Structure 1
Amino acid sequence: MKKLFSLYYSNLFLNNRLFIGLAVCVTLFLVGFFFSWLGVIPELVFWVLILLILADILLLYRNSKAIFARRTAPERLSNSDENDLSIFIESRYPFTVQVGIIDEVPRQFQRRDVWFKTSLAPYQQKSITYQLRPTKRGEYDFGDIRVFVRSPLGLISRRFNFTQSEVLPVYPSFLQMRKYELMAISNRLNEVGIKKIPRVGHSLEFEHVKNYVQGDDYRTINWKATARHGSFMVNNYIDEKSQHVYCVIDKSRAMKMPFNGLSLLDYAINATLALSNVALKKEDKAGLITVGEKIGSVIAADRRPTQINRILEVLYKEKTRYLETNMEALYSTIRGVIKQRSLVVFFTNFESLSALQRQMPFLKRIAKFHLLLVVFFENTELLEMSAQPAADVEHIYIKTVAEKFANDKKLIVKELAKYGIQSVLTAPENLTINAINKYLEIKARQKI
């Protein structure tokens, strides 16, 4: 009996309306000391309030399963994207109730505002949708759903607890990957900022002869076939297939720097997943190498349907290391694993020209055997700082240092170009689009 009472008591909460009623009763009793003509009115109001409280308790507690709630979530969450979750709630009360819902989201979000208010008509069902944006990969623990219900009297609230603890993994941005995949299939990449690169000549892969249609290049007219058919016929060429595209991800401490809540490593992982998927859709072979103070994961280039899932599973587990990149080990791995000339996209970060000079000997060796594309990041916070007007001497020093670092990034691009190494200097949030743009440009210009 005591346990049952404790269970009911722990789920009963007093509302503001009850405290207002009690304040009215106290005021009437105080006034009654000075004005005897009030008589029994204070006591009458008090007992009416007690009866309303008992009635409210009876309304809310007469059905032990008067509310049902359930969270609907995807099997996995996409890092750095807005993920849709929903709460289904059903009322089994024969009257309209006011409902407050708390969803215990994982601690990684540091959110205390996942609180929803709504009203439910008798026996009504409702679905409430909200979004969560994770910024770190890993496992996220969701807690219970707690529902607070008020009757039309509104004096007390009853809490319903629904145990729905679950662990959801947060993977690299597969939602972003799917977006670019759909755009690539429908040939609408320009809608998300992917440039259409003009082709500089044809690949060597001839497909077939077809009828001329408006817009075809006159230079592709097959005059022999035209003479035979009596109408213009053109040669149709297709992009070269099965070219090897390797994404190399630097996991050293240089990639730990955060921008908009996301580390440079996570930006590189998201871009790698999207770029690999686009390469596979273009019928190239995609591979992966991760490196820190030692070689991490190595996935040989392939174009099988399961390749993107293999890459996704490896990227999910990658973490930042806190030592320098072992470029000698990277060079040895590339020479051992990649047997033919390939496009090697190296995601890394250089904050100074001296940092580049330490790695330049190995970059030049890699560039002798493969087409090397170095992708590194602008420090957008320093750019903003250098653009602000200086108010005093201290700000002049800060602005000068910021401009110096920003200028070093441009010098790094020139230094790489001097040795025939292509590069992409990009803001973190534009990394995926710029990396795909560069890949399509290289493919169109047949540089591999």
Structure 2
Amino acid sequence: MAHLIVHGGRPLSGRIIPSANKNAVLPILCATLLTREPLRIHGVPEITDVKKILELFRTLGSDVRMDFVTGLLELRHEDTRFDPSIHRLPAEMRSSIMLAPPLLARFGVARIEDDVKGCTLGAREIDPHIEVLKSFGATIERSDDSLVIRSDGPLRATRHWLDYASVTTTENFVLCAALASGQSKLNNAASEPHVQEFCAFMQTLGARISGIGTSQLTIDGVDSLSGGEFHLTEDFHEVATFLALGAITGGGVEVKNSAPDQFPLIDRTFAKFGVHVVHEDGWSKTKANGPLKVAEPFTRNVLQKVEAAPWPYLPVDLLPIFIALGVKAEGSVMFWNKVYDGALGWTGELSKFGAHVFLSDPHRLIAFGGKPLVPAQVESPYIIRVAIALLMLAASIEGRSMIHNATPIKRAHPRFVENLRMLGAEVEWTGGD
């Protein structure tokens, strides 16, 4: 693990061009296995998980040409081969589970390892994925350290209703249905922007999908998918992250943002801390009138609230950065994670900065903000935006802080420290990789 040393107290200002959304890029890369035709994908970020998947493709015999300087990936899976007794999917990344449907469709067999878990957000079951695979006609064999999935022939169209609107399960359903014979329908589908971008990529290859952006998807299976060219868009998580870094340090960061239509609820959440977001000419920036201050609800006998759940709620992945704002802002806020039961366990680290927080239960936290804060050494769990939230607080406090085990940031944000330095931050990696 690598750590971040932060010398805080400097207002961060400047312009940032964010990278593509990891949660769109990874399922798109998995989907490329469904076609033997050449592909060109623009804007591919240099992040850990991308490198792992591309290395797997090379191991399987695919033609991979990646230029991380320009972000251009040229890819062809014409001579790809898969042997479940030899090949292993990338470890410690949840998106590996989305390699199963294309491998199953292409080779009739796939293998899921026990360590396909990703960020430590509490219990993350694979049962919904298994249910989807079975509904398309796959059989499952359990071994000591993995699951082997097999199909005797082409996958068969199905109708399925998810227990909850899971992003990766929705994407796995689409991956299965694209080449399945007949029409498939999914109810309670996830509709996050990265799911919509993934579906748009599938349409580029010739997949027949309707209902994108809604809770019901209909997919008419086709005989084959083509190649094509696709441009990835900016990650709304990264846009919001750099806006928050500017706000918490008292600076002014402008971030390129070609999809401001995704931001109305995110903008209103910023406003709860006295931060006004402006979208102009393809760029987004924040304006704060003085120090951060929690807006008092019109209903005076309740706490201000930030509720995070599946889209179109505020995304749970953004909750940590707003917790950091809540600790810094004067006033009290309740934060509610309605998805993961283990995603708030890290908040005890905030007390090392002098923050006052109270964990009501595994899903709800109250921050009593505006208290005097001091630099500290803190431990980050293996959760991308928690490491960033801890860094945000460190950057806002004068003095030297250290974020131990901050490596997860590299899973989603290329050149993150370099971008921070461009904004005026004094921050550096130390130790580990």
Interval of TM-score (by shorter of Structure 1 and Structure 2) = under 0.3
Greater radius of gyration (CA): 1
Normalised by the length of structure 1, the TM-score is 0.24
Greater helix proportion: 1
